[in-house]
Amino acid sequence: MKVYFLGTGTSQGIPIIGSDHEVCKSADSKDKRLRVSVWVTWDNHSYVIDCGPDFRQQMLTSNCKKVDGILFTHEHADHTAGLDDIRPFNFRQGVMPIYAHKRVIENLKKRFDYIFETKNRYPGAPSVKTIEVENDQPFLIGDKMAFPVNVMHGDLQVFGYRIDDFAYLTDVKTIEEIEVDKLKNLKVLVVNALREELHDSHFNLQEALDFIALVKPQKAYITHISHILGFHEVVQKELPENVFLAYDNLEITI
């Protein structure tokens, strides 16, 4: 299985429009972060987790030519705003399966009403098939099972996903012990860390490192990063040896 980091930035992306912050002005390509998403592939199967506002650019840069389905973590715009750009996949492949919590599907129906219109559909509008994800209900993607992991983003429920020995958790602030038990024996854990300072709805770096120490994956990658965490190169040097800052266009094999 391959995991390609399509984006590793927090909601505004890095650089932030108009910012003179030193990280936003960095020349290091690892300091340029689109909105968070990963592309997971194995054999001839291809899935993405989330579909934020940079989706089109991410599909072009990664040379992704086929998507068998999109797994959504939650409804926030940095994870969903690119949904209109699935059209090239619709034209080539047909209807796009999207997997999400019922609440997230209802939210998408409001925000992208034309996609879900059944009468007088705009010609060429995106077409989706919705599959509700429920906690403790693994579901089949291709020939593998995806296991939802229930986490909290402040007061908002969010799904992470485990596929084989890989788990992707973003926008986590708290997680119940029973959910942590679903993350045993991971080869790779991806988890969010926003910055060093505390935040109401995101792990800061220390909380993410504590969580990684609790879960004990072989390797962990940090994502959903704010510019104020600092330069990639500097922060990476401070991390434990099995913990890495993810960066855009990083590809790992699991």
Binding site for Zn ion (CB under 5 A): 78, 171
CB of 95 to Zn ion, least distance (A): 26
CB of 78 to Zn ion, least distance (A): 4
User: Beta-strand (E) ranges in 62-127?
Assistant: 69-71, 96-100
Residues for the chain: how many in total? 254
Smaller CB distance to Zn ion: residue 78 or 207? 78
CB of 118 to Zn ion, least distance (A): 30
Neighbour tally for 145: CB within 10 Å: 12
Tell me phi and psi for residue 111, to 5 degrees: -80, -30
CB of 126 to Zn ion, least distance (A): 22
Distance of alpha carbon 55 from alpha carbon 37, whole angstroms: 8
Smaller CB distance to Zn ion: residue 42 or 153? 153
CB of 44 to Zn ion, least distance (A): 30
- Dihedral in degrees, nearest 10, Cα atoms 51, 54, 56, 59: -80
DSSP 125: -
Smaller CB distance to Zn ion: residue 49 or 98? 49
Question: What are the counts of helices (DSSP H) followed by strands (DSSP E) for the chain?
Answer: 8, 14
Smaller CB distance to Zn ion: residue 75 or 78? 78
Residue type, 3: V
Smaller CB distance to Zn ion: residue 90 or 107? 107
